[in-house]
Structure 1
Amino acid sequence: MSLAPRIVLVHRTTEYEELVARHGTHGQAAFFLASRGRDIEEVAERSRRTRRALDEIAAGIPLTWRQARVERADLDRFLFAPEDVVVVVGQDGLVANVAKYLAGQPVVGIDTDPGRNPGVLVRHRAADAGALIASAVSRAGAVDELTMVEAVADDTQRLLALNEIYLGAAGHQTVRYRLGRDDDRGAVEPQASSGVLVGTGTGASGWLRSVWQERGGGLVLPGATEERLVWFVREAWPSPVTGTSLVAGHLSVGARLQLTVESDRLIAFGDGMEGDAVELVWGQTVRVGVAGVRLRLVG
């Protein structure tokens, strides 16, 4: 007998809930915002919209199906099952946060605040969730397979990300390393910079795009489903012992950007989640390239 489908609702604590938790009561939080020229009602209404969306989606799931809820802060402790359908309720960034913990499960992105979110990954409304979930359970609906990026260290530590992976110092200060590509023998350059950014076509709508624009837009950014990455060195510093000739490029499937640490400590983190970082020490090598897994986003 096969298991009933399990629908996993992923959400995050709202700004309003964080304010009340910090200040103790609604009134104290309202006073704090008012003293800074802000009205708490705007923040509270966004929180109510999120809660209404969660309730509406949960109510539309058949009673014979299983349900689970997980908050963003608990993602690293939640065990996703192969048969799960994941419904992300919130912002685009929340889809990226959950992507690294999945292994092919379909994801439905629900936008709770249309007009504030770009809607690149949370493409749908709560009212449409029932039909989208049913389609995902039957594996009959349209799905976009989004390219992901991975970093693998020489001690087997592995990091996955949907948007980008950052390699550098924890405080974004200057870090020393040697940089090259696996397919360019001898083309390895000692560098000092504020870090290296390697990302996907999905990430090209965020942090990567800002770096790309600063560089004059010379590289062609990949599409979200294209199996190609772009990489940039941030603020490379020229000196008698460090160079600046390898500062940007593409990575196709099978190609790897290789970085060998020449500082006491370097970290790698994905999609802005610095608290879930891979730590690397002097002499360690990490290779970054197109991941073998993709995010299956329900269109």
Structure 2
Amino acid sequence: MSLAPRAVLVHRTTEYEELLARHGTHGQAAFFLSSRGRSLDEVAARHERTGRALAEVAAAVPLTWRQSRVERADLDRFLFAPEDVVVVVGQDGLVANAAKYLSGQPVVGIDTDPGRNPGVLVRHRPADAAALLRASVAAGGTADELTMVEAVADDTQRLLALNEIYLGPAGHQTARYRLAGDLADAPAESQASSGVLVGTGTGATGWLRSLWQERRSALPLPGPTDPRLLWFVREAWPSPATGTSLVAGELGRGQGLRLTVESDRVVVFGDGMESDALELTWGQSVRVGISATSLRLTV
């Protein structure tokens, strides 16, 4: 007998809760914001909207299902199961935060603050939750398969990301490394730069796009479901020992970009989550390419 589905509600601490944790009381938090020209009323209103959305989504979970909640800070310690339906209640970025810990489970994105969030990944309202939960487990249910990027180190460490993976110095200063493609005859180059960014079509609305625009790149940006990645080297430094000829490119399915560390330490993190990074030291290598795992976003 198979297990009943489990709805896992993913949320994050609100700004109001963070202010209370820092300042202790509503009054102290209000005073702090007023000294900076802001009002606590708007922050508290967003907190209340988030609470109502969470309650409405929780009430929409079928009675025969199991239910659990996980806060963003605890995602790296939460064990997702194959029968889970992941319901992200919050901002677009929260979907990306959760995506790296999943392995094909359907994801429903619920927008708690329409008009404030772009709604690229949290496309639905709390009132839609019941229908979306049923659709997530129904035969023939419709989902967008969003391309993800992965980094695999030579010691088997692995990192997934929905938007982009960054490889470089922890302080975003300068790292030394050797960059090359997968193929034996691919050109290789020793570089000194502030890092390398490899991004997906979902990430093409954020950090990746800013580099693409800055370079006035002729490479077409991928769409979220396109099996393509773009990569850019940030601020490559020319010197007698380092070059700048390999600073941008495209990766298709089965293709990879390999970075071999030639400095003391390089970090690899995804979707801005620096607290959950791989750490590589001198001589280690890491390959970045399209992941076999995609994000199943219910539509």
Q: Secondary structure at the match of 1:85?
A: strand
CA RMSD of aligned residues (A): 0.9
Q: Report the counterpart of residue 103 of structure 2 in structure 1.
A: 103
Q: Report the counterpart of residue 70 of structure 1 in structure 2.
A: 70
Gaps of 5+ in 1: none
Q: Report the counterpart of residue 28 of structure 1 in structure 2.
A: 28
Q: Does 1:52 align with 2:47?
A: no
Offset at 1:33?
0.3
Q: Report the counterpart of residue 255 of structure 1 in structure 2.
A: 255
**Alpha-carbon displacement from aligned partner over 1:29-81 (angstroms, at most 9, x marks no partner):** 00000111100011111111111000001111122211000000000111111
Offset at 1:183?
2.2
Alignment of 1:193-232 (within 5 A): 193-232=193-232
Q: Report the counterpart of residue 272 of structure 2 in structure 1.
A: 272
Residues 1:188 and 1:217: Cα distance change in structure 2 (over 3 Å):
closer
Alignment of 1:36-185 (within 5 A): 36-183=36-183, 185=185
**Alpha-carbon displacement from aligned partner over 1:72-102 (angstroms, at most 9, x marks no partner):** 0000111111011000000000000000111
C-alpha separation in 1, matches of 2:4 and 2:286: 41
Offset at 1:141?
2.5
What's the TM-score, normalizing by structure 2?
Answer: 0.98
Give the residue type in structure 1 aligned to 2:159: L
C-alpha separation in 2, matches of 1:293 and 1:164: 15
Give the residue type in structure 1 aligned to 2:101: Y
Q: Secondary structure at the match of 1:232?
A: strand
What's the TM-score, normalizing by structure 1?
Answer: 0.98
Q: Secondary structure at the match of 2:47?
A: helix
Offset at 1:186?
5.0
Q: Secondary structure at the match of 1:220?
A: coil
**Alpha-carbon displacement from aligned partner over 1:252-285 (angstroms, at most 9, x marks no partner):** 1111101000010000000000000000000001
Q: Report the counterpart of residue 290 of structure 1 in structure 2.
A: 290
Gaps of 5+ in 2: none
C-alpha separation in 2, matches of 1:139 and 1:274: 38
Give the residue type in structure 2 aligned to 1:85: V
Offset at 1:2?
2.3
Give the residue type in structure 2 aligned to 1:118: P
Q: Report the counterpart of residue 240 of structure 1 in structure 2.
A: 240
**Alpha-carbon displacement from aligned partner over 1:120-166 (angstroms, at most 9, x marks no partner):** 10000001111001111224421000000000010111100000000
Q: Secondary structure at the match of 2:218?
A: coil
C-alpha separation in 2, matches of 1:157 and 1:65: 34
C-alpha separation in 2, matches of 1:184 and 1:123: 43
C-alpha separation in 2, matches of 1:10 and 1:31: 31
Give the residue type in structure 2 aligned to 1:130: A
Q: How many aligned residue pairs are there?
A: 299
Q: Secondary structure at the match of 2:294?
A: strand
C-alpha separation in 1, matches of 2:194 and 2:85: 39
Q: Percentage identity across aligned positions?
A: 77
Q: Report the counterpart of residue 9 of structure 2 in structure 1.
A: 9
C-alpha separation in 2, matches of 1:118 and 1:150: 25
Give the residue type in structure 1 aligned to 2:33: L
Q: Secondary structure at the match of 1:67?
A: strand
C-alpha separation in 2, matches of 1:184 and 1:200: 25
Give the residue type in structure 2 aligned to 1:155: D
- Which 4+ runs in 1 deviate beyond 2 A? none
Residues 1:186 and 1:220: Cα distance change in structure 2 (over 3 Å):
closer
Give the residue type in structure 1 aligned to 2:290: V
Q: Secondary structure at the match of 2:268?
A: strand
C-alpha separation in 2, matches of 1:109 and 1:67: 16
C-alpha separation in 2, matches of 1:86 and 1:139: 17
C-alpha separation in 2, matches of 1:139 and 1:25: 49
**Alpha-carbon displacement from aligned partner over 1:159-205 (angstroms, at most 9, x marks no partner):** 00000000000110011000010126251001000000001100111
Offset at 1:248?
0.2
